[in-house]
Structure 1
Amino acid sequence: MTSPKKNVDQAFALAKERYAALGVDVEKALERLAKIPISLHCWQGDDVGGFENAGEGLGAGLAVTGNYPGKARTADELRGDLDEALALIPGTHRLNLHASYAETGGEKVDRDALEPAHFRAWIEWAKAKGMGMDFNPTYFSHPKAADGWTLAHPDKAIRQFWIDHGIACRKIGAAMGEALGTPCVTNVWIPDGMKDATVDRKGPRERLLHALDAMFATPIDPRLNKDAVEGKLFGIGSETYVVGMHEFYLGYAITRKKVFTVDSGHFHPTEVVADKLSSALTYVDEVLMHVSRGVRWDSDHVVLLTDDIELIAQELVRGDYLDRVHIGLDFFDASINRVAAWVIGTRSMIKALLLALLEPIDALRKYEADGDYTSRLAVLEELKSLPFGAVWDHYLQTKDIPVGRAWIDGVKRYEADVLSKRG
């Protein structure tokens, strides 16, 4: 009886031969894959709760469903859960943190007064793991966002509060970038909009434009912090009108030289999000790709290896955009084990990237350039039945990660030993 490791090795050797017959260098693909970081979102572990004093529930178009036991209640618990998830995810990745996850030591610190010191423990944790960090101002779960308006708020004082919050967050992002030696992408998303019939669509957008300009007025070295702006089609409570829609932010990103954020759940369900990447990257230098899975609407389901995710990965690889696109995850499911959700979602994104890297891209481009669409289509179909799973298992094995469903048993043990004791 052969050992599991030998079985994986034998299957991988055969898979390499199959891919090589199509001109694919599997080892080169795996080497490239290992260098692609995915930014894991902290908010999957505690249902977007955060740890600040000012939080008063989600609101502002956000909702989390489910009550699976074991939610992280403290920053230390959340970091412990992330440790467990990262141990089951191949590669070196990043952490995406919201401002509401500040640790103030029990002191009441409002969001316009946040400083890098309130995130020191997160930075030290990331540095110890050799990870970079990304950041987000939190424009929800706050008394001054109770009506769903922030940077486009008609009240100048409230608007200024949120401008100041954004300024503080850019400084925090720069501190993260400096401490960790890799630029922090600080992404701005706001919930502002209208539930029903909207008369003045112009005024709020003019206010948002001026607020953003004020927030970004002081330049920050892009080697430390990169500013990103994220639009949305609609939200809960803003079904009719979203101030910061995609066209608004694409124009802003182009004219102000910002990173343009594309969230796969923030478009109409019939739109092909992958096709937007090459269009946007024609005009902007960089894109932040938030990968989520909408079901009927922007419902932030755990990312799976679906056609939509594969198309995104294919566009990133085929367009040679991997060095210009920052990949992050954005989902929050409280109906299943939260650590497992991180592992499933992140590994699904990595699998999609591996599938794309295993394409014979030079041959496919030549078929297309030569007008040989028959060969192009035939080869694309042949790829679907190649032994991708054997390559994936080998990749896990080289990273000392359990192959197959063994990782689930590990998460279940963690649930029994740690999560179940949280009450």
Structure 2
Amino acid sequence: MFKRSLFNQEHEMFRDTVRKFIDKEIAPYHYQWESEGVVPRDLWLKAGEAGMLCCTIPEQYGGLELDYLFDVIVFEEMARSGFTGPGFLIHCDLVATYIKSFGTEEQKQQWLPKMVSGEAIGSLGMTEPHAGSDLRNIRTRAVRDGDDYVINGQKVFISNGQLCDVLVLATKTDAADRDNGITLFLVDTSLPGFERGKNLDKLGMKAQDTSELFFEDLRVPASCMLGEEGKGFDLMMTKLSQERLAQAIRSATVAEHLIDITVDYTADRAAFGKTIADFQNTQFKIAELKTDAVIGRVFTDECIKKFMEGDLDQVDAAMAKMWLSNLHCRVADECLQLFGGWGYMWEYPISRAFADARIVKIAGGSIEIMKHIIGRNVFKEAKKRQ
């Protein structure tokens, strides 16, 4: 059977720590958090104390300065657990990465130590009611006023929105320039003019807070700008491959886990004098899903290697995101079918996994956008051969 070669003994020791943390601090409470629509803030502090947040952040900013595989382990074990409430991936892989990559020394000192400890929770403010995949179409405005910028607008579908202390916010500083009019800011959510809307009621991922955010004459110092004015879109594009890789990592892990629990269930569940696993249909379905999951895992691990070497391009990331997102949803659907009526009951993990799965075809760039990126590149390469 296929075995992964990415991780060493130190990595696996950390994986064991993460699993124990999940069993102790998340598993007993997650069902309650699904009802409440949010996880408690003290979970973030406990995760920080356990060394699970922002593993790659340099020591000078309070981090452990470990390699990317330690972050991967946290993402994988959270995905394997099926507990989708804690928004660690967004906090670590996106917000902290933006600050580490593009922030000033002052910005790094202000936010990164608190993000490592879990004292400050990060969120990404990009999507708007009229701008999802088309980020150039955002309408949230930031207007210069002396040494400050005044921000007005709104965001929607913002994960960690109810809890976030720092927000990487995409704004328009030049409404007439689609390509170069976007600017990013690091927003302290305690400032006047920032308001959280309702916690949105979603199909799945019930324990993860997802919010509307509003900005009404929010005044932020120019020193809160992340990168240069008008260069926000370029900065966002440089991180999309990493975001899509993280999505693929999660989907690959969930697919593997759902296959495993379905194998266990069908081996025990009896029907017509034998187990569900004895039926040829079950064996053929599992054979197909298992093979596709292994193929997806091999490609995902190769993308992880490329990313760590600085060589993961947007096309490979889009392929990984598209393939694994589709597989994730198909595995959730076909495995639920093998559970029969019990698979439709919310108390069964396969039911919640089915509801949680659907977002992966949308978040981090829709499947249609991935196809556009891949198809455009195919024909671009074809022209080079002519």
Report the TM-score, using the length of structure 2 for normalisation.
0.25
Higher helix share: 2
Report the TM-score, using the length of structure 1 for normalisation.
0.23
Higher strand share: 2
The higher-RCO structure (CA 8 Å, 6+ apart) is: 1
